[in-house]
Structure 1
Amino acid sequence: MDLSQTIFELIDMRSFSNLWFWIALAVFWSSASHWVLGVPWDSVLRAKRNGGQAEIDLQDLVRINCNRLLHIADVSGLFLIGGSCFILTGLAGVGFGYNVEFAQAVFLLLFPMSIVSLLSVRLARRIRVEAPQPEELRKRLARHRFWVQFIGMISIFVTSLWGMFQNFQISPLG
């Protein structure tokens, strides 16, 4: 048995029947929900609970991450959007047009996250322009986290339905 065959048996390119894919999907959305604009959610909760230095730290973290995100968007945003659209279109075409399950799985991971990325850039721009007070900042981060979780929930639901459909298609009963 050669190395490539061993790797493909371990990874199993049929993603929707692979436990590793579902673990990765859960970790992916859990991480996206925990890191709101690059700020860990426990920092937001600590700032709300303790105030003082924790609140100052939260404002600094948000300011740093917003500036970083907006710098990336301003400097290379057009190329990132073009490249992302190219990759997503390619994955959708190969995955759903040619029925490549691995491309379908990657598309179902990346497409909703691209929406979350756009929402993050939009929120970063609003925070930079409006410079909200600490309480309003926490509310905006909480609202953003809600929408990330909502998109994640819809994404996991759609992915699981599509995965079940794909698994039924290849099963002896399908």
Structure 2
Amino acid sequence: MDWYSAVFELIDMRSFSNLWYWIALAAVWSQTSRYVLGVPYDMIQRADRHGGQPEIDLEDMVRINCNRLLYVANTSGLWIVGILAMLMTSMILIAFVYDVEFAQAVFLLGAPMLVVGFLSLNTARVIQEQGLTGKALRKRMHRHRTATQFVGMVAIFVTALWGMYQNMTIGALGQ
């Protein structure tokens, strides 16, 4: 067995029948819902429970991450949107017009992450424009996390349905 065959046997390009894909999907959504605008969720909970220094730390970290996110969006946002539009259009064509399962898997991971990215950008703008602090900031962060988790649930559900469909269709064709 040569190196090429060993690698492709380990990393099956039939993504939806590969355990590694589902582990990666779970890990991506776990990390995405754990960090709210780059802030660990336990920091928000600690600020909610204790106030004082944990709340000051939370506000500082949110301010830093919001400023960073909005700076990138303001300086190169149009370029990023253009490149992402090109990549996603290419991915859709490769995935669903040319019926490449690996591209379908990547699209089903990436498209919902774009939604979360836009939600994060919107939340950062609201926090900065309204100058949210204290309870109002924590409430907004909780709402953003809930929205992210909702997007994740829908994405995992759609991915599971599409993956089962692909596995049943390819499995039926293989017999």
When normalised by structure 2's length, the TM-score is 0.97
Structure 1 segments, 4+ long, off by >3 Å, are none
Secondary structure at the residue paired with 2:13?
Answer: coil
Shift of 1:133: 2.6
Secondary structure at the residue paired with 1:171?
Answer: helix
Alignment partners' CA distance in 2, 1:92 and 1:70:
28
Shift of 1:154: 0.2
1:135 is the counterpart of 2:135? yes
| Residue of structure 2 equivalent to 1:4 | 4
Q: Write out per-residue CA displacement over residues 3-42 of structure 1, whole angstroms, 9 at most, x where no aligned residue.
A: 2221111110000000000000001011100010000000
Gaps of 5+ in 1: none
Shift of 1:55: 0.1
1:50-129, aligned counterparts within 5 Å?
50-129=50-129
When normalised by structure 1's length, the TM-score is 0.97
| Residue of structure 1 equivalent to 2:23 | 23
Aligned length, in residue pairs: 174
> Which letter maps to 1:129?
E
Shift of 1:172: 3.7
Q: Write out per-residue CA displacement over residues 120-164 of structure 1, whole angstroms, 9 at most, x where no aligned residue.
A: 111101111111131000000000000000000000000000000
RMSD: 1.1
Q: Write out per-residue CA displacement over residues 41-87 of structure 1, whole angstroms, 9 at most, x where no aligned residue.
A: 00000000111000000000000000010111111111111111111
Alignment partners' CA distance in 2, 1:80 and 1:22:
28
Shift of 1:118: 0.6
Q: Write out per-residue CA displacement over residues 108-128 of structure 1, whole angstroms, 9 at most, x where no aligned residue.
A: 000011011011111101111
2:59, 2:133 within 8 Å by CA — same for their partners in 1?
A: no
Gaps of 5+ in 2: none
